[in-house]
């Protein structure tokens, strides 16, 4: 199996921080793998996903995603790489309040010709792809047409964010606590859709969560503290 993600000797420290948040000697994720990452608050889970999405770059070390060294790219190059190849479900959703549900889901297709073409190939056009994904999330465009995302519940906003990450079948999906605001039925529907997409498209999924009940659904489970030497140093004696 080839690796979709490879990290080596990565150190990351926030500019205002006194110690590194991440110190990971080695970490890899196989292509098509479903990886569950757990860790306590402040352990660096979100920072790790930011590195994999090219939102942040390490102070030292190598971050390779789909064979591309993100740490070697300029900010503009990372901004181009991300919408083409990485679907992100952000912990805070990052939805655009003045756009409709469908318009929010379509955003990756507006920034990536590759994902727009893929959505067209599977559904005829990107708008149809967005509506299908929203319907699978229990957010039928007929019922929610014209509504602003700010009118939605937190759980509904989380599902819109998930549909946005899935549209156009990016090769890597990274999800930051995507089920935290969902009830049991909605959580299972979201996971089913993620797993179906991964199986159908050969995508790689990295999901971080506090919810250890999800662990058994994944190919592999990693506790971030076992990888992150910075977390070890921060443990009180």
Of the candidates 187, 89, 197, the residue with the CA atom closest to the CA atom of residue 137: 187
What was the pLDDT predicted at 34? 96
| pTM (two decimals) | 0.91
Q: What is the pLDDT of residue 1?
A: 64
Instruction: Encode pLDDT of 183-228 as tens digits.
Output: 888 888 889 889 998 999 999 999 999 888 899 999 999 999 899 9
> Residue 32 class from Cβ within 10 Å (0-12 exposed, 13-18 middle, 19+ buried)?
middle
Secondary structure of residue 25 in the 3-state scheme: strand
Q: Which domains does the chain have, with CATH numbers?
A: 33-54+73-221 (3.40.50.300)
pLDDT tier at 236 (50, 70, 90 boundaries)?
A: very low
Instruction: Give me the helices (H) in 68-183, please.
Output: 75-85, 101-111, 113-123, 126-136, 141-144, 154-166
Q: Read off the pLDDT of residues 109-143 as tens digits, 9 standing for 90 and up.
A: 999 999 999 999 999 999 999 999 999 888 886 77
- Among 44-53, 114-123, 176-185, whose mean pLDDT is lowest? 176-185
Q: Which of residues 181 and 129 earns the better pLDDT score?
A: 129
pLDDT of residue 235: 42
- 73-102: per-residue pLDDT in tens? 999 999 999 999 999 998 878 899 989 899
Map tokens 């660096």 to a residue.
Answer: 44
In this predicted structure, what is the pLDDT of residue 232? 54
Task: Evaluate the CA torsion angle 22, 171, 148, 176 in order and state its sign.
Answer: negative
- Confidence class for position 233, pLDDT limits 50, 70, 90: low
CB-CB contact of 45 with 37 (8 Å): yes
The secondary structure element, H or E, covering residue 63 is: strand 60-65
Residue 195 in tokens: 């797993």
Q: How confident is the prediction for the chain on average, in pLDDT?
A: 90
Best CA proximity match to 94, nearest among 167, 158, 172: 158
67-79 pLDDT, tens digit per residue, is 999 999 999 999 9
Q: For residue 170, give every residue at least 6 positions away whose Cβ sits within 8 Å of its Cβ, in sequence order, or none.
A: 84, 85, 86, 87, 108, 115, 203
């Amino acid at each position: 199996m080839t690796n979709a993600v490879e990290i080596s000797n990565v150190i990351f420290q926030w500019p205002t921080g006194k110690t590194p948040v991440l110190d990971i000697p080695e970490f890899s994720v196989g292509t098509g793998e479903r990886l569950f990452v757990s860790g306590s608050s402040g352990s660096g889970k979100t920072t790790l996903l930011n590195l994999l999405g090219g939102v942040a770059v390490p102070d030292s070390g190598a971050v390779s995603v789909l064979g591309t060294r993100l740490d070697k790219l300029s900010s503009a190059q990372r901004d181009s790489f991300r919408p083409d190849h990485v679907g992100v479900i952000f912990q805070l959703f990052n939805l655009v309040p003045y756009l409709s549900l469908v318009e929010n889901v379509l955003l990756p297709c507006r920034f990536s010709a590759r994902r727009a073409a893929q959505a067209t190939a599977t559904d005829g056009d990107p708008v149809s792809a967005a509506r299908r994904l929203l319907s699978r999330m229990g957010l039928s465009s007929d019922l929610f047409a014209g509504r602003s995302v700010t009118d939605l519940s937190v759980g509904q906003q989380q599902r819109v964010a998930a549909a946005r990450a899935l549209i156009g079948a990016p090769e890597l999906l990274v999800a930051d606590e995507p089920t935290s605001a969902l009830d049991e039925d909605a959580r299972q529907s979201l996971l089913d859709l993620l797993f179906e997409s991964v199986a159908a498209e050969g995508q790689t999924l990295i999901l971080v969560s506090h919810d250890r009940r999800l662990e058994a659904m994944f190919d592999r489970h990693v506790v971030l503290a076992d990888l992150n030497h910075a977390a070890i140093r921060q443990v009180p004696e």
